[in-house]
Chain A
Amino acid sequence: MMQKSTQLEKKVLSLRLRGFRELGIIVFIIVISVLIGIRNPRFLTWSNFHDILIDTAALSVLSVGMMLVLVTGGIDLSMESVLALTGMVAGMMVKQNPQLSPFFMLILGLLLGGLLGSITGLIVAQGRVVPIIATLSMMYIYRGITFIISGGKWINAYEMPDSFKAIATGRWLGLSKLIYIVLAVYLVFYYFVNHTHTGREIYAVGSNKEAARIIGINTQFITWLVYAISGALSGLAGVMWVARYASAQNDTASGFVMTIVAACVLGGVSITGGVGTISGILLGSITVGIINNALPMIRVSPFWKMALQGLIILVAAIVNIAIARNMEKSQLKRRVV
């Protein structure tokens, strides 16, 4: 009886803590925004906020995929290459068939990305190759295929139909269509992660794989699934990216994977697995978006910018941890009383 009640208490406590955990990042976002706003008031305008949301769109979609993989204790380095390959295929397709509907292209991005991700997933789940090695190899392979199918050529703005480019430039009720795509992805995955069996099983596998297997979770399937999902979301992000910049390059998003990991970690995802929330990574992505958007606006030397970028990420991480710890302490105190 006693045990049960403490367990319950623990559960309530951890739920509360989760809410508080995001407080750190919110505080940080507010502080940094005010600081930048003092230096350049145009930072704090609605139109700039809208720009940040558009800039962050692809990143936020990618973070969902990366979070699911990180929660299982893996990592998916191939995301940036799946993005580039899917983006290139999409670019080449609309170049040949300008009449293709943008909605179809987005679905195609999801499907093609999902296919590429499932191959990676098979290698990790079935082939039992360590995720970092498996996804690093696939990162090079998919990047290589991008070069091969494009013959080293780019797809340029004039070769893309306006309808396709409108995925990024089009508005609906005053908001960019990209923002609605992000909203849809987050709603679907909020439900999936928190309210479905499979969604919860992902956390179980990440917290304790052996225990998850013993209670009858198909750990191999879950492992495959997270890579397939991260692939699908990378594919979707690829179409968004190419439409946004109106250019499909072979080196699209090269090196971007680190930014995705940074957004996840800032959003409270643990790289050792088991921990991560959808609301957290949304805030994490927006933080990264703010940093990228703000740095060009504060009129400092480009060399300082680079150092500042690192510094800001570091401070964000520290503030995040400090506030989470403080909350935990005060919660514990309350429990003693």
Chain B
Amino acid sequence: MKKLVTILLMVFFAVALFSVTAFAEGHTIAMIVKNVGNPFMDAAGRGAEEACKELGNNFIFQGPATPTVEGQIEIIENLIAQKVSAICITANDFDALVPVLQKAKGNNIKVVSFDSAVAPGGRDVHVNQANAELIGKLQVQAIAEMIGYEGEIAILSAGATMTNQNTWIEYMKEELKDPKYAKMQLVTIVYGDDLRDKSYNEAMGLFKSYPNLKGIISPTTVGISATAKAITDAGLIGQVKLTGLGLPSEMAEWVHNGACEAFFLWNPVDLGYLASYVASLLCDGIITGKAGEEFSAGRMGDYTIVEAVDGGTEVLLGPPFRFDITNIDEWKDIY
């Protein structure tokens, strides 16, 4: 009996291992996200897959279970071994992925970073959501309007090493230097690591350590919804205002109960679509990733590659979208 079970198990694994589906013609484009099972990342994956279907490419979607650099490195090593044509990645660290991505480029794999960039040395081009400056600025303007340009504010971010978070926060600080915000003070920046329990605790901690806190900016999807829940639980709706970057599906409840009046996000489906389209054009040699190159990206229209502040090049998706009580219900079932 035991032998039979053992044999059956072995057969099962053998079948599982060899049942890898054969790929069709075209490039194989792999998308690596920060972590799997994150609705924002899944939406980007849907967009990338859509572009792949249009262009006749194969699509692989992967990501570590938790948002770590180590997990991403492992996946990239695997993809190099599989000889994919291009990698689209949203990085968990700006610098740490460069060596392994250079190895990928050495193996003639095109590298496109999107959402969260890798250093210029590790990529061909970056597909950015929107101008980072604009993203930072919009959030500061929104919170300023909510609190009447006066009082203490805090930022609740994701990981302390995440490129996109840090760039936006830099621009928020930049924007806050404008004299019209003179009566607003940024008292602290805390990190919830995109974990719900930790983000919630950090938000609760903010209320208790800064009793005069008027507003929180949380430029991360888990952070903003955990903060909204904390504001609700602490009975601070109306006293502590909240804005940031969030998913309509997660934020619907909190927009309706008043914990968050308005927040922003770009369309992750479009972002994934554009990243995958750019990757395909790189594989075809139509573009090389140099500044000034112009191209047309299917349903998204025409784009130009521009110089990025980090010294590399990038493509900008467009301005972020504002969600509030007037439009949240149209979007909450979409992503």
Closest to A295 in B: B205
**Alpha-carbon distance between A295 and B197 when the two chains are bound, in angstroms:** 14
Min CB distance, B67 to chain A, in Å?
A: 9
Question: B206 and A246: CB pair below 8 A?
Answer: no
**Alpha-carbon distance between A157 and B205 when the two chains are bound, in angstroms:** 22
A150 proximity list for chain B (CB < 8 A)? 37
Which residues of chain B (42-97) have a CB below 8 Å from chain A? 42, 65-66
Question: B37 and A245: CB pair below 8 A?
Answer: no
In this assembly, does B239 line the interface, its C-beta being within 8 Å of a C-beta of chain A? no
A: contact size bracket: 35 or more
In this assembly, does B249 line the interface, its C-beta being within 8 Å of a C-beta of chain A? yes
Stretch at the interface among A27-35, A64-72, A272-280, A298-306: A298-306
Interface residue from A156, A241, A250 paired with B250 (Cβ < 8 Å): A156
A157 proximity list for chain B (CB < 8 A)? 225, 229, 250, 252-254
Known: A157-B225, A157-B250, A245-B229. A40 touches B209 (CB 8 A): yes
Known: A156-B253, A245-B229, A247-B196. A296 touches B202 (CB 8 A): yes
B201 proximity list for chain A (CB < 8 A)? 55, 292-293, 296
Question: B160 and A152: CB pair below 8 A?
Answer: no
**Alpha-carbon distance between A334 and B211 when the two chains are bound, in angstroms:** 52
In this assembly, does A252 line the interface, its C-beta being within 8 Å of a C-beta of chain B? yes
Over the window 189-232 of chain B, the binary record of Cβ atoms lying under 8 Å from chain A Cβ atoms (1 yes, 0 no) is 11100011100111011101101000000000000011001000
Question: A299 and B209: CB pair below 8 A?
Answer: yes
Question: A296 and B209: CB pair below 8 A?
Answer: yes
Known: A147-B37, A157-B229. A247 touches B250 (CB 8 A): yes
Question: B66 and A255: CB pair below 8 A?
Answer: yes
Min CB distance, A48 to chain B, in Å?
A: 6
Over the window 174-200 of chain B, the binary record of Cβ atoms lying under 8 Å from chain A Cβ atoms (1 yes, 0 no) is 000000000000001111000111001
B42 proximity list for chain A (CB < 8 A)? 152-153
Question: B233 and A158: CB pair below 8 A?
Answer: no
Closest to B67 in A: A251
Question: B250 and A296: CB pair below 8 A?
Answer: no
Min CB distance, B12 to chain A, in Å?
A: 14
In this assembly, does A201 line the interface, its C-beta being within 8 Å of a C-beta of chain B? no
Min CB distance, B166 to chain A, in Å?
A: 12
In this assembly, does A154 line the interface, its C-beta being within 8 Å of a C-beta of chain B? yes
**Alpha-carbon distance between A56 and B160 when the two chains are bound, in angstroms:** 26
Residue count of chain B within 8 Å CB distance of chain A: 36
**Alpha-carbon distance between A51 and B206 when the two chains are bound, in angstroms:** 14
Interface residue from A43, A246, A253 paired with B253 (Cβ < 8 Å): A246
Closest to A43 in B: B208
Interface residue from A147, A245, A253 paired with B226 (Cβ < 8 Å): A245
Min CB distance, B252 to chain A, in Å?
A: 4
Over the window 245-271 of chain A, the binary record of Cβ atoms lying under 8 Å from chain B Cβ atoms (1 yes, 0 no) is 111011111111000000000000000
Question: A254 and B197: CB pair below 8 A?
Answer: no
Interface centre among A48, A55, A249 (most CB of B within 10 A): A249
B105 proximity list for chain A (CB < 8 A)? none
B250 proximity list for chain A (CB < 8 A)? 154, 156-157, 247
In this assembly, does A143 line the interface, its C-beta being within 8 Å of a C-beta of chain B? yes
Question: A254 and B66: CB pair below 8 A?
Answer: yes
B233 proximity list for chain A (CB < 8 A)? 169
**Alpha-carbon distance between A253 and B66 when the two chains are bound, in angstroms:** 11
Known: A147-B37, A152-B37, A251-B66. A297 touches B252 (CB 8 A): no
Question: A250 and B36: CB pair below 8 A?
Answer: yes
Min CB distance, B229 to chain A, in Å?
A: 6
In this assembly, does B256 line the interface, its C-beta being within 8 Å of a C-beta of chain A? yes
In this assembly, does B137 line the interface, its C-beta being within 8 Å of a C-beta of chain A? no
A158 proximity list for chain B (CB < 8 A)? 249, 252-253, 256, 332
In this assembly, does B35 line the interface, its C-beta being within 8 Å of a C-beta of chain A? yes
Question: B204 and A296: CB pair below 8 A?
Answer: yes
Which residues of chain A (35-76) have a CB below 8 Å from chain B? 40, 42-43, 48, 51, 55
Closest to A296 in B: B205
Interface residue from A154, A253, A254 paired with B39 (Cβ < 8 Å): A154
Interface centre among A48, A147, A153, A297 (most CB of B within 10 A): A297
**Alpha-carbon distance between A48 and B201 when the two chains are bound, in angstroms:** 12
Interface residue from A153, A254, A295 paired with B65 (Cβ < 8 Å): A254
A153 proximity list for chain B (CB < 8 A)? 39, 42
**Alpha-carbon distance between A263 and B190 when the two chains are bound, in angstroms:** 25
* The 4 nearest A-B residue pairs measured at CB: A296-B205, A250-B37, A157-B253, A158-B253
Interface positions of B (Cβ within 8 A of A): 35-39, 42, 65-66, 160, 188-191, 195-197, 200-202, 204-206, 208-209, 211, 225-226, 229, 233, 249-250, 252-254, 256, 332
A-B contact pairs, 8 of them (CB 8 A): A152-B42, A153-B42, A156-B249, A157-B229, A254-B65, A256-B197, A296-B208, A303-B160
Given contacts A157-B253, A295-B205, A296-B202, 19 further A-B contacts (CB under 8 A): A40-B208, A40-B209, A42-B208, A42-B211, A51-B204, A55-B201, A143-B65, A150-B37, A154-B39, A154-B250, A156-B332, A157-B252, A241-B197, A251-B35, A296-B206, A297-B208, A299-B209, A302-B189, A302-B191
